[in-house]
């Protein structure tokens, strides 16, 4: 998959780009609803022998449009988004820089520049996609703004249990610890990548050595607590338990939750390695224990429960 970074105005000549079927949207999470849009574009491109593409934006529009929101966390930060899209068989990814100048573009100017100007012959988008200044353009106006240069497909909402699948709904499940439901809506486990860094080594002194992860991007994290996880490492899928939280038993003063992973039946040195953590099930809240003995006793029970659960995976 070829990734092309764009900003307004871009310098790409239409004649130099292949005729393309494109899916457009922010696609945070690339959940089952997004996948329907993207797969529709990929299938149409294949049938018509055209190039398939995804057009997306970075950063999230709220960073630019909401003055009080300077930091956004993502279900799928850009590198994760690229990885998933390449797995879906997309040929090209256009990443448009979302800034004030772009947000002020009139709908027709946006279409001329980023759709007609990129040789899009067919556009696929969700029913609620909007474009142009203050979202004035919609799937109801796209026919007019296309000016006969491209056709389009509007994908209706994808529901699960009568509820529209959305990134917002998935975030709500994660904040309540329901990673199983979040994974169901995503169509795959929520994943977070990070590098193993030096920790306080306290875990190994109590029989639960942990890999402390420094997260590589701005991930939207689930509710603090203990989780069943599977972990990708050098082509292997390992099983373990993760603690996301503030280590209250040891009275550590930390502002950001730390992520530690204890891998089952694993002895290798992981320092400097990248791990891919797949969140599987919420086990319990993070507690402040009376002492190390009660902590170890609880961790032992957690491990037994998680081993049983992960037998199915």
Task: List, as one string, the DSSP characters of 57-102.
Answer: EES-HHHHH-TT-----BSS-HHHHHHHHHHTT-SEEEEEE--HHH
Q: Which domain covers residue 276, as residue numbers?
A: 186-311
149 with 9, same domain: the answer is yes
Count of domains in the chain? Answer: 2
Looking at residue 231, what is its pLDDT? 99
CATH number, domain with residue 87: 3.40.50.620
150 with 9, same domain: the answer is yes
**In this structure, what is the dihedral angle of CA atoms 104, 107, 108, 110, given to the nearest 10 degrees?**
60
The token duo for 3 is 């990734």
Evaluate whether residue 112 is within a structural domain: yes
Looking at residue 288, what is its pLDDT? 83
Q: Taking a C-beta distance cutoff of 8 angstroms, is the pair 5, 93 a contact?
A: no
Looking at residue 174, what is its pLDDT? 98
Q: Please state the pTM of the whole predicted model.
A: 0.92
138 with 205, same domain: the answer is no
Looking at residue 11, what is its pLDDT? 87
Looking at residue 251, what is its pLDDT? 55
CATH number, domain with residue 239: 2.40.30.30
Our CA angle for 21, 24, 26, nearest 5°, is 155
The 8-class DSSP code of residue 14 comes to G
| Calpha distance 182→167 (Å, rounded) | 9
Profile the chain (313 residues) by mean pLDDT over runs of 10 residues: 95 93 98 99 98 97 77 93 97 96 96 98 98 96 98 98 96 98 99 90 74 93 98 98 78 73 95 98 91 89 98 89
Evaluate whether residue 114 is within a structural domain: yes
């Amino acid at each position: 998959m070829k990734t092309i970074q764009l900003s307004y105005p871009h310098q790409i000549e239409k004649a130099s780009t292949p005729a393309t079927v494109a899916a457009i949207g922010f696609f945070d999470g690339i959940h089952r609803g997004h996948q329907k849009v993207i797969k529709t574009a990929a299938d149409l491109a294949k049938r018509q022998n055209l190039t398939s593409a995804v057009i997306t934006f970075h950063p999230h529009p709220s960073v630019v449009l909401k003055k009080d929101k300077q930091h956004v966390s993502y279900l799928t930060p850009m590198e994760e988004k690229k990885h998933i899209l390449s797995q879906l068989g997309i040929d090209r990814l256009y990443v448009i820089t979302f800034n004030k100048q772009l947000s002020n573009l009139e709908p027709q100017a946006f279409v001329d520049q980023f759709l007609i100007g990129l040789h899009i012959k067919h556009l696929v988008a969700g029913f609620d996609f909007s474009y142009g200044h203050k979202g004035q353009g919609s799937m109801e106006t796209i026919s007019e703004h296309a000016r006969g240069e491209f056709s389009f497909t509007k994908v209706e909402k994808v529901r699960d249990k009568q509820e529209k699948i959305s990134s917002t709904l998935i975030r709500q499940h994660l904040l309540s610890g329901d990673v199983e439901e979040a994974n169901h809506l995503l169509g795959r486990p929520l994943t977070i990548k990070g590098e193993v860094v030096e920790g306080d080594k306290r875990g190994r002194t109590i029989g639960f050595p942990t890999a402390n992860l420094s997260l590589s991007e701005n991930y939207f994290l689930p509710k603090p607590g203990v989780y069943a996880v599977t972990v990708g490492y050098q082509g292997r899928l390992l099983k373990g338990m993760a603690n996301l939280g503030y280590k209250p038993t040891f009275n550590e003063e930390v502002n950001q939750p730390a992520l530690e992973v204890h891998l089952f039946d694993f002895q290798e040195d992981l320092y400097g390695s990248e791990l891919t953590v797949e969140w599987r099930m919420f086990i319990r809240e993070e507690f402040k224990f009376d002492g190390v003995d009660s902590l170890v006793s609880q961790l032992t029970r957690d491990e037994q429960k998680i081993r049983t659960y992960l037998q199915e995976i």
